[in-house]
Amino acid sequence: MGQTTASSRIVARRRAFKQARRITLSVVIWAFVAVWYFPVMWMFSTSLKPTTEAVIENPPRLIPAHPTLENYKSIFAAKSNVNIPRALLNSTIVGLVTVAATLLTSVPAGYALSRLQFKGRKTVFGIYVGILAFPATMFLVPNYYIIHGMKLMDTLTALVLPVLATTFGVFLVRQYMVGLPRDLEDAAWIDGCSRTRFLVKIVVPMVLPSIFVLGLMTFLTSWNNFLWPLLVLNNPNNMTLPVALSRFNVGWADPFRGIGPLMAGAFITMAPTLLIFILFHRYLMEGISIGSLGKG
Amino acid sequence: MEKTHPRRFLWELGSWGFLAPHLALFLTFIIAPLFVNTVMSFYNWSLLGRRVFIGFTNFVRIWTDDRFWQCVVNTSLFALYSVPLVIIVGILFALLLNQKIYGKMWILVGLVSQTFFGSIGILTTWKWIFASYPSGLANYVCVKLGLLAKPISWFETPFSAWAVCTLVTVWWIVGFSVLLYLGAIQRIPPEQYEAAKLDGAGPFRRFFSITLPWMRDVLFFDIVRQVLLAFALFDQMYIFTQGGPGGSTRTLVYYLFITGFQRQEMGRAAAISWYIFVLVLVFGLTQLFMTAKSLKSTEG
């Protein structure tokens, strides 16, 4: 009896020690994360300050002395040569169209390259892989010329098309499809199922997580894309959010495009991606692991 | 040679049909550009104006341009110190996130979510933090802590401009590596650690003899990926310094941007991109072979 209580006391003490260690470690890490994430909080805090106050206040304050939504109102009402409401709409349209078009092209291609046998498949696949030796920078100048030749300069289509040609989605989807059992087709062919039906009814439901991951990553890439839209867009009405925001680089104290409205715009650009991360980080992590190295 | 059965031929044509939409885009915006790029690099080529064949002149002009070599040095140095930094910080964060701690989801948000934010919002925020005003956050904090005697213009000396750029880049992109590493760490069988614990191996010993070897493939892949990323450095300099002071923060892509799109010398810019290709060729090929290998291993 006595021995049991002694040992259970030891167990309890050990558990308490572990608990204390866990709490201490958590507090230390939490403090570090608060410092590490400070720029994001600073962005939000500045977006709630009147611009003049944000520029001159000394010491700088994290909690705004006179919080206001003026900056958000101003960027949505601005009649300057930057049109934020329009940019928000453009970014959303380009993002959603790119996602839809990527899924419609990459999923069947991934299917063909993983589960269909035909002459030339190996060659095509080899070329798809071989292109990985070329840095993305190689394609800027010629694609600019090609888009110009297609008379697509300064259009939203110019933002969608080149992205669709990337092979990331094809590889990602293929990785999942290759892993499905081989006898899946045998049963389907006997039932007289066509390839399209087989893809839509059987394969797609089985690899749905990968398709979701591809959709998420495509949307984020499109939403954040900067250099290419900067090159091909010109008219303020065609700009996406990052390009429109880069036009705010005029002077911190400018009442319409100064730091207050700029941080409001930055926060609006960031908010959807933060939300996506909070909701779906598990999917993003899996997509990164598999899309990068082909390992599950 | 055996004759293909007509039905078999039609069936194969149908298979091509699944590939066709993506293949058409791939040929138009990936394959064709490589040829266009090659042709352009031998021409004095502006978008609307004349096109004159000038042989290797573009390549020679770039080779003899001091500004080009300055960009090569700038970009290479950046890769040299930013890549190891991202990897070390990435491993530390991944190990942190693998501990038993409270509120892990929010810690993940705090350390990793930045990597999914767009460059412009992030970079303008950091530029504002490093504003030259005395009330700029970085100046205020540094003066308060006694690190600086008086407020400075961070982007007006090459050293501090590069320091800020590196700090911001690590802060911004490390999350992607953290996710990669975390995935690798979580694939390590727990028995490995239990056996090591029984043998009396301490945390450092366990890290170097179990964790690190298991992460080897992922680390190698990530190093290659990040070198390629470093050689694509543009947004930071576009927002922070525009390449200044005196070209000391100009990168290769920035040099290409100025040449091809601000001065509209597209032939010259195409030639620059071939130089970039050669510079990172070893890394590009490594990426190719690693991907080919891992794709093949799943072929079965």
Distance from CA of residue A160 to its chain's centroid?
A: 15
Report the C-alpha gap between A112 and A152 in whole angstroms.
Answer: 30
pLDDT of residue B90: 96
In what helix (H) or strand (E) does residue A139 lie, and over which residues does it extend? Answer: none
Task: Report whether B268 contacts B260 (CB < 8 A).
Answer: yes
Task: Report whether B281 contacts A133 (CB < 8 A).
Answer: yes
Average pLDDT for A86-98 = 96
Chain A residues close to B203, C-beta within 8 Å = none
Q: For B100, which of A22, A195, A249 is closest by C-beta distance?
A: A22
Average pLDDT for A192-197 = 82
Is B43 a member of any domain? no
Indicate whether B31 pLDDT > 70. Answer: yes
pLDDT of residue A295: 43
Cis peptide before A272 (omega within 30 of 0): no
Indicate whether A149 pLDDT > 70. Answer: yes
Report the C-alpha gap between B31 and A229 in whole angstroms.
Answer: 21
Q: Who's near B241: CB < 8 A, 6+ residues apart?
A: B155, B161, B165, B249
Digit-coded pLDDT (tens) for B203-244 = 888 899 889 998 988 898 899 999 999 999 999 999 999 888
Give the residues across from B53 on adjacent strands: B43
pLDDT of residue A256: 76
**What is residue A235's three-state secondary structure?**
coil
Report the C-alpha gap between A218 and A287 in whole angstroms.
Answer: 11
What's the structural domain count of chain B? 1
In what helix (H) or strand (E) does residue A292 lie, and over which residues does it extend? Answer: helix A259-293
A23:B119 CB<8 A? no
pLDDT of residue A4: 64
**Chain A: residue whose CA lies nearest to B175:** A285
Per-chain mean pLDDT for chain A? 89
What is the SS3 assignment for A178-204?
HCCCCHHHHHHHHCCCCHHHHHHHHHH
Of A9-13, A29-33, A107-111, least confident by mean pLDDT is A9-13
Report the C-alpha gap between B65 and A259 in whole angstroms.
Answer: 38
Is B23 a member of any domain? no
Is B276 a member of any domain? yes
pLDDT of residue B244: 80
Indicate whether A1 pLDDT > 60. Answer: no
- The residue whose two tokens read 């999942």 is A176
B178: CATH = 1.10.3720.10
Is B246 a member of any domain? yes
B34:A142 CB<8 A? yes
Q: Which two tokens stand for residue B57?
A: 């002149």
What percentage of chain A has pLDDT greater than the value 90?
Answer: 54
Indicate whether A154 pLDDT > 90. Answer: yes
Is B168 a member of any domain? yes
Digit-coded pLDDT (tens) for B102-136 = 888 999 999 999 999 999 999 999 999 998 888 78
Digit-coded pLDDT (tens) for B58-109 = 999 999 999 999 999 999 999 999 999 999 999 999 999 998 888 889 999 9
Q: Who's near B44: CB < 8 A, 6+ residues apart?
A: B50, B51, B52, B54, B57, B58, B265, B267
DSSP A138: G
A139:B29 CB<8 A? yes
A134:B231 CB<8 A? no
Is B15 a member of any domain? no
DSSP line for chain B: -PPPPHHHHHHHHHHHHHHHHHHHHHIIIIIHHHHHHHHHTTEEE-SSS-EEE-TTHHHHHHHT-HHHHHHHHHHHHHHHHHHHHHHHHHHHHHHHHTS--TTHHHHHHHHHGGGGS-HHHHHHHHHHHT-SSTTSHHHHHHHHTTS-SS---GGGSHHHHHHHHHHHHHHHHHHHHHHHHHHHHHTS-HHHHHHHHHTT--HHHHIIIIIHHHHHHHHHHHHHHHHHHHTT--HHHHHHTTT-STTTT--HHHHHHIIIIIS--HHHHHHHHHHHHHHTHHHHHHHHHHHHHHHHHHH-
Q: How far is B8 from chain A (nearest CA, A)?
A: 10
* Report field, pTM of the whole predicted structure over 0.95: no
Is B108 a member of any domain? yes
**Chain A: residue whose CA lies nearest to B116:** A273
Distance from CA of residue B17 to its chain's centroid?
A: 35
Classify residue A172 as exposed, middle or buried by CB count within 10 Å of its CB (0-12, 13-18, 19+). buried
Q: Which domain holds residue B244?
A: 57-292
Digit-coded pLDDT (tens) for A202-238 = 899 999 999 999 999 999 999 999 999 999 999 888 9
pLDDT of residue A293: 57
Indicate whether A269 pLDDT > 70. Answer: yes
Band of the pLDDT at B287, cuts 50, 70, 90? confident
Per-chain mean pLDDT for chain B? 90
**Chain B: residue whose CA lies nearest to A61:** B137
pLDDT of residue B162: 95
In chain A the domains, ranked by start, together with CATH numbers, are 2-72 (no CATH), 74-293 (1.10.3720.10)
B28:A278 CB<8 A? no
**What is residue A254's three-state secondary structure?**
coil
Q: For A56, which of B37, B135, B291 is closest by C-beta distance?
A: B135
pLDDT of residue A296: 35
Average pLDDT for A238-264 = 86
* Greater pLDDT, B296 or B281: B281
Distance from CA of residue A86 to its chain's centroid?
A: 21
Is B31 a member of any domain? no
* Greater pLDDT, A285 or B297: A285
Digit-coded pLDDT (tens) for A97-139 = 999 999 999 999 999 999 888 888 999 999 999 998 899 999 9
Report the C-alpha gap between B296 and B108 in whole angstroms.
Answer: 33
Q: Who's near B150: CB < 8 A, 6+ residues apart?
A: B134, B143
What percentage of chain B has pLDDT greater than the value 90?
Answer: 63
Indicate whether A28 pLDDT > 60. Answer: yes
Indicate whether B4 pLDDT > 80. Answer: no
